[in-house]
Copies of this chain bind each other. A is one copy, B any other.
Amino acid sequence: MNKQWLLAERPTGLFSKENFQLREVIIPELKDEQFLVRTIYLSLDPTQRMWAQMDTYLPAVKKGDVMRSLGMGVVIKSRNPAFKEGDVVQGMTGWQSHVITDGRDYSLVPSKSGLPLEIYLGPLGMTGITAYYGLIEIGKPEKGETLLVSAAAGAVGSAVCQIGKIKGLRVVGLAGSDDKCRWLTSELGIDAAINYRSANAWQQLKDACPKGIDICFENVGGTSLDMALGLINVGARIPLCGYISEYAATEPGPGVHNLAALISKRAKIEGFLVLDYVHRSREALGELGKWVMDGRLKYRMDIDEGFENLPDSINKLFEGKNTGKLLVKVSEPPVE
């Protein structure tokens, strides 16, 4: 049997169990070119909140369809010569325990690398590619510059912080708890981390950026972006990766008020999507892999158990409760 979470209603605010419907269906027979995947991990990402609500860069998930999601699994039956039984694969599995696919948009995961499988949904997956190209291509870092990263303890943010250090930048992170800030400075070695919930966050940020901000890798938007705009230097670049402050908001946020600074500072805000860089993933993964091996790119996985709890687990992203990459484990990885 295949367990599936279908989207039942469009969410308002945080996800709730009522937005979804749990169903079990019989797994049909494979046709030629198809193979059957048993899902191991599902990747929980802020963008899924948008997919559930409205058309954006992808059409909204239709009501009654399986909730869209990146995932990883193992091939347990195959009639497709390119994907053999035992292969670990990655693709848009959706929120379900099993998938039948012809392999379009699926890729093989190098499961014999000795690295833990989940790393390929983290720093050596979409997360890492997002961090890499957003910082390198949009941010165009130059040694000695100051980089501000919001949601710095998140999956993408923590990778951006470390790539920034590798590129010779002064790196300042914004995060939502003192624990996260400690992790960022003492484990990841960034120059300063500020709990944006503290009363004097603005003063702390100014103190942490004595030479202003040259790059702001923005994952949050709203007030976070406004603070950064107050400190940007001439020619600053703001890669806009996410806007998590408003994805699950029930009312409009305070808006952004300091955009006029972009004029005086001849600065830019530029949105990007990792989808536009996937065809170049080899370059990014080469670099990222080297840094992981070197110990210069650390990561934390926040792995929840329990397929049934998916609607709760994903809300951790919008409540700032995860540190590092958030996954849900659906079944056991194959034993090596």
Question: Which residues does A use to contact B, with CB under 8 Å?
Answer: 50, 56-57, 221, 225, 240-243, 246-247, 252-257, 259-273, 276
Contacts and interface: CB of A to CB of B under 8 A. Distances in A.
A257 B262 contact: no
Nearest to A236: B271
Contacts of A276: 266
Interface of A is mostly: loop
Contacts of A269: 259, 262, 268-270
A221 B266 contact: no
Nearest to A241: B263
A260 to B, nearest CB: 4
B271 A246 contact: no
Contacts of A260: 221, 243, 246-247
Contacts of A266: 270-273, 276
A273 B260 CA distance: 12
A270 B264 contact: no
A139 to B, nearest CB: 13
B243 A259 contact: yes
Contacts of A272: 263, 266
Given A256-B256, A259-B243, A268 B265 contact: no
B240 A259 contact: yes
Copies of this protein chain in the complex: 2
Nearest to A58: B264
Contact of A240 (B242, B256, B262): B262
5 contacts: A240-B259, A247-B260, A252-B257, A254-B255, A269-B269
Nearest to A275: B266
Given A255-B254, A259-B243, A259-B256, A273 B264 contact: yes
Contacts of A270: 262, 266-270
Given A268-B271, A269-B269, A242 B255 contact: no
A125 to B, nearest CB: 19
Nearest to A268: B270
Contact of A263 (B242, B265, B267): B242
B268 A263 contact: no
A243 B50 CA distance: 30
A66 B98 CA distance: 75
Contact of A262 (B252, B262, B267, B271): B271
A68 to B, nearest CB: 15
A263 B253 CA distance: 18
Nearest to A253: B257
A57 B262 CA distance: 11
Contacts of A273: 263-264, 266
Find the residue from A254, A262, A276 having the highest chain B CB count within 10 A: A262
